[in-house]
Structure 1
């Protein structure tokens, strides 16, 4: 019996294919970056994409492994979306966010693949003639701040072993948070917000996607348990693209390392 293709619910929010395509999201992220944060230029993004695609045959489709927001908001065109697993990498909230879903005063945390273990997610097959167009959008989405490395991995996709592209944590980057205790990580996830919304909304949508896919992730379950133990905090307001947003009170700030190495 063939593996069923996956369907995705519509997502209403600031991160859309249209905003990635017309450059407005990129412009907004650059405009909202705090002083001292180094972001890649359009030329640097293009050069990075060229380097990654140098080893991929131009006439072949490309598999992309998604493990976070790509599971619930792909915003790309693809031929297939199938259950996938990679070995040697784990899903982890290990990148500090000072923009998008956090601020320097109330930093958030973003998911990445980090070393060790295994990870179940989704494999997206992109048509050969659309690879560069779709990856250009992904580079604007994932590679702007330098906190991710694009990496080719071996993945089990729909029961077959395939080479896939994914985004792993750049451990050399100052905003790499490492392996935080669940309680500390959840305090940031539960309180941070920025121009793209709150970290808590990102977390909740990721949890919902994992549940739809029947994926049980031990690290995510530990974070959910930590969330249940968090004491209530006084509300604070953060101004986002969609207006003032109420979040919990401030937590201890992440290291003030805003520049790329």
Structure 2
């Protein structure tokens, strides 16, 4: 898939990447330009299982996926074409370490015109897709799930804050985060687990 994606890019122009989750607040690559962008036919949802980064096999967490239907507001990053051969393997390792996403070139609408950007989408038939989760499921995951990079709750809150700081409102995510508002001591418990996971990782 990596070779096919690079071939589809072609190398003649700068490369655009559409960010809808953690890439917004932790892109980890240099870019020439960043634009507000909207994609139609896809939407952001906290419905992708995470067994390492934000959870464990015993207590899975969640990360965002981009699923078909609706629309999604995010950010489009433009990477200079001469930097793409160095940047893309690192981005691919981050996003495609488990080959869960389906990389696609999507039409992004921006204030300065449309761009074709690489986006990491997820099929609803993927085993990493959670399907429908109840409010109680989200409360439990927010209270308990923690992986090597921290908790599902911290991840969701960081994404919500990054979107809000850029003037992007995600009402669905806002409603989910309200479920954790009365978690009382759960935050302390999960952060204690986070410290334990960090210590295990360093051992």
Structure 2 length normalisation: TM-score? Answer: 0.88
Pick from 159, 165, 185 the counterpart of residue 206 of structure 1. Answer: 159
Distance change >3 Å, CA 178–CA 62, structure 1 → 2: same
> Which aligned runs of 4 or more in structure 1 are off by greater than 6 angstroms?
none
For residue 154 of structure 1, report the CA deviation from its aligned partner.
0.5
Kept in 1: contact 2:39–2:72 (CA 8 A): yes
- Structure 2: segments with no counterpart, 5+ residues: none
For residue 242 of structure 1, report the CA deviation from its aligned partner.
5.0
Distance of 2:171 and 2:135 partners within structure 1: 11
Kept in 2: contact 1:109–1:185 (CA 8 A): no
Alignment of 1:34-183 (within 5 A): 48-183=1-136
Distance change >3 Å, CA 167–CA 106, structure 1 → 2: same
For residue 105 of structure 1, report the CA deviation from its aligned partner.
1.7
Normalized per residue, the structure richer in helix is 2
Distance of 1:74 and 1:96 partners within structure 2: 21
For residue 158 of structure 1, report the CA deviation from its aligned partner.
3.3
Distance change >3 Å, CA 192–CA 81, structure 1 → 2: same
Kept in 2: contact 1:61–1:128 (CA 8 A): yes
Alignment partner of 1:235 is 2:189: yes
Please give the secondary structure, in 2, of the residue aligned with 1:228.
coil
RMSD: 2.1
Please give the secondary structure, in 2, of the residue aligned with 1:175.
coil
For residue 100 of structure 1, report the CA deviation from its aligned partner.
1.6
2:173 aligned residue? 220
- Structure 1: segments with no counterpart, 5+ residues: 1-47, 245-261
Please give the secondary structure, in 2, of the residue aligned with 1:241.
helix
Distance change >3 Å, CA 190–CA 148, structure 1 → 2: farther
Distance change >3 Å, CA 241–CA 230, structure 1 → 2: closer
